[in-house]
Structure 1
Amino acid sequence: MTEKLFILGLGAQRAGTTWLHQQLNRCDAVDMGFTKEYNALVNPKASLRGQWRRHRRRQEQLNASFGSARRFSHEEFLALPTEQKQLLMRVRHHHYLDYFDHLVADNPTIHATGDISPYYAQLHADRLRHIRRQLRRRGFTVKLIFLLRDPVDRIQSQLRLIRREGHVPELSRIADPDRALAVHYRSARCERHSRYEHTLAAIEAAFPANDVLVEFHERLFQQHSHTRLARFLNLKLPPPELTKKINAAPGPQFRDTNLLRAIAHHYAPTYTACRERFGDQVEQLWPYARLV
């Protein structure tokens, strides 16, 4: 029997996850489903009150979207628009598991599927263990991929995209890019995608090392990285599109070198945690690591 493979991608945001998703989907044995980021997995609320509030909010979302909180068969689920499918995956987790199970079971040529959502970099170890356990019960081998990028570079890229697309009006209204960067890098929005040490610790507590691939954005678009990916997943991937750029975020350059140095120092624990795990590669690949 051919192994069923589930590829769980945790990000990082602005580190090449969209390119990775497209390269995986080019493989005949892979079907990543109706979207790249399902964003269906969340950490449980710590308190009973928090759990109850989340339950009530989800019921309200179901009522607002469907007019009721009724149950859906798998066939009905598949016919729904993308946003409604994602809502059901978050609220009724069996839809998430059923969907990927059917993707593989219903097509004999498909052996691998997955979900690459940078939002999942925030998941705690207990939550990662839980989803791994649920997928393994469905017969999947679960492989986890986490892409890293120099935090200072990642933060600049994230801010360019935010300002270009107007996601955060208070940042888009600041005319000076350096001033916007000074506001952004300390924000909770930025921290949760840049503190790799928390994600790495959760991964290490939840997954065996041989089921984890950590790769650097700075060398992702190279043949040897693609070969390593194919070997890790045990898939015959097509030749990579190494020059293809996806979701690039060109824009004004940030010129305040003192600010960039301050950002590197702010994320010094992140650089240290990565040095401890990956050694000299960090200094070689991440220019801002040399400032800390």
Structure 2
Amino acid sequence: MTDDPGTFLLGVGAQKGGTSWLHDYLQASPQFDPGFRKEYHVFDGLDLPHSSYVRERVLRQAERARLAREAGEPYDEGRLLRASFYTDPGAYPDYFAGLLRAPGTRLTADVTPSYALLGEERLASVRRSFEERGVRCVAVFLMRDPVDRVWSSVRMSYDRGRGTEGRTAEERTLEVHRQDYHRLRSRYDLTLDRLDAAFAPGLVHLELYERLFRPEAVEELCGFLCIDAHPAQVGKRVNATPTDAVLPEATVREVAATYAPVYDAVARRFPDVDLERLWPSARFR
């Protein structure tokens, strides 16, 4: 083992905030090993009531894999391993720390946007579990204009034909943003406070989706992650949704009014950014 134990990246969102692009970019680095998936959905499955179905599904899949293994049939080892992350507190950090022991690997990650809703103690316990193994644990939080984030999520639902029956996209946007589960995904101010409490200064990297796709932003991120920067496809979008539709101003105004604390918190974190230019909905705070 080298003197540098490597870095574990906990990607905490935001949903529709560029996390898929980030993971796609990191995968092109020979110094990055993400393991067997991008989103492991461990701690949201353990802690968040609305995500309990994830844990139940993973455990069912693991049971089927176990039975197949005992019967000498083909099975997915990843399903068994993922289930162990729910049942054995040490399995999760042990797995990622093990990836970092491979020659040349300096970074691994779990990029699960739902982690933006985790509590302070859970975030701190994840950090401690890696520090106990000598691994540097950091968090990355990508934030997008809250109205655009909700609107992008709704457009994706329409694109996939899920939960949209009999409602216009504008009606669905208002419906979604009024639900606690969806609204809290855009309460970046709350996530920022929890990250501050759980991680020491210098262990959290913040970026805005609207500034992410620039060489200088990528280089800064790679420096934070202690890997070598490599060329980025800054014009590429991953899991992008159609952008030809535009929300009526009245809808934008109603959704934006909910997020005044978010705009204020982000403006404080990025004092050199013209937030109303970058996030047009901020004019309605």
User: Shorter-normalised TM-score: what interval?
Assistant: 0.7 to 0.9
1:210 to partner: Cα distance: 0.7
Name the CA distance, whole Å, in 2 between partners of 1:259 and 1:185: 11
Identity of aligned residues (%): 32
Worse-matched range after superposition: 279-288 or 199-208: 279-288
Name the CA distance, whole Å, in 1 between partners of 2:56 and 2:112: 24
Q: AA paired with 1:150?
A: D
1:117 to partner: Cα distance: 0.6
Name the CA distance, whole Å, in 2 between partners of 1:45 and 1:34: 22
Name the CA distance, whole Å, in 1 between partners of 2:174 and 2:110: 33
- Structural mapping, 1:12-27, within 5 Å: 12-27=14-29
Name the CA distance, whole Å, in 2 between partners of 1:91 and 1:241: 39
1:156 to partner: Cα distance: 0.3
1:192 to partner: Cα distance: 2.2
Confirm whether residue 40 of structure 1 aligns to residue 42 of structure 2: yes
User: Do 2:7 and 2:226's aligned partners in 1 also have CA atoms closer than 8 Å?
Assistant: no
User: Do 1:104 and 1:111's aligned partners in 2 also have CA atoms closer than 8 Å?
Assistant: yes
1:62 to partner: Cα distance: 4.2
Confirm whether residue 10 of structure 1 aligns to residue 21 of structure 2: no
Which residue of structure 2 lines up, in the alignment, with residue 88 of structure 1? 84
Name the CA distance, whole Å, in 2 between partners of 1:237 and 1:213: 16
Aligned CA distance change for structure 1 residues 236 and 257 (closer, same or farther; 3 Å) = same
Which of residues 114, 126, 140 in structure 1 aligns to 2:109?
A: 114
Q: AA paired with 2:214?
A: Q
Calculate the aligned-residue CA RMSD, in Å. 2.7
Which of residues 185, 189, 192 in structure 2 aligns to 1:193?
A: 185
Secondary structure at 2:39 match in 1: coil
1:276 to partner: Cα distance: 2.7
Confirm whether residue 233 of structure 1 aligns to residue 225 of structure 2: yes
User: Do 2:46 and 2:86's aligned partners in 1 also have CA atoms closer than 8 Å?
Assistant: no
1:109 to partner: Cα distance: 1.6
User: Do 1:145 and 1:214's aligned partners in 2 also have CA atoms closer than 8 Å?
Assistant: yes
Which of residues 79, 97, 102 in structure 1 aligns to 2:98?
A: 102
1:131 to partner: Cα distance: 0.6
Which of residues 265, 269, 273 in structure 2 aligns to 1:277?
A: 269
Which residue of structure 1 lines up, in the alignment, with residue 151 of structure 2? 156
Worse-matched range after superposition: 109-118 or 184-193: 184-193
User: What is the total number of aligned residue pairs between the two structures?
Assistant: 273
| Structure 2: runs of 5+ lacking an equivalent | 70-74
Name the CA distance, whole Å, in 2 between partners of 1:61 and 1:8: 20
Instruction: Give the TM-score normalised by structure 1.
Output: 0.84
Instruction: Give the TM-score normalised by structure 2.
Output: 0.86
Q: AA paired with 1:283?
A: E
Secondary structure at 1:31 match in 2: coil
Which of residues 42, 63, 66 in structure 2 aligns to 1:66?
A: 63
Aligned CA distance change for structure 1 residues 133 and 69 (closer, same or farther; 3 Å) = farther
Which of residues 138, 145, 148 in structure 1 aligns to 2:140?
A: 145
User: Do 1:174 and 1:180's aligned partners in 2 also have CA atoms closer than 8 Å?
Assistant: no
Which residue of structure 1 lines up, in the alignment, with residue 121 of structure 2? 126
Q: AA paired with 1:190?
A: H
Name the CA distance, whole Å, in 2 between partners of 1:64 and 1:234: 36
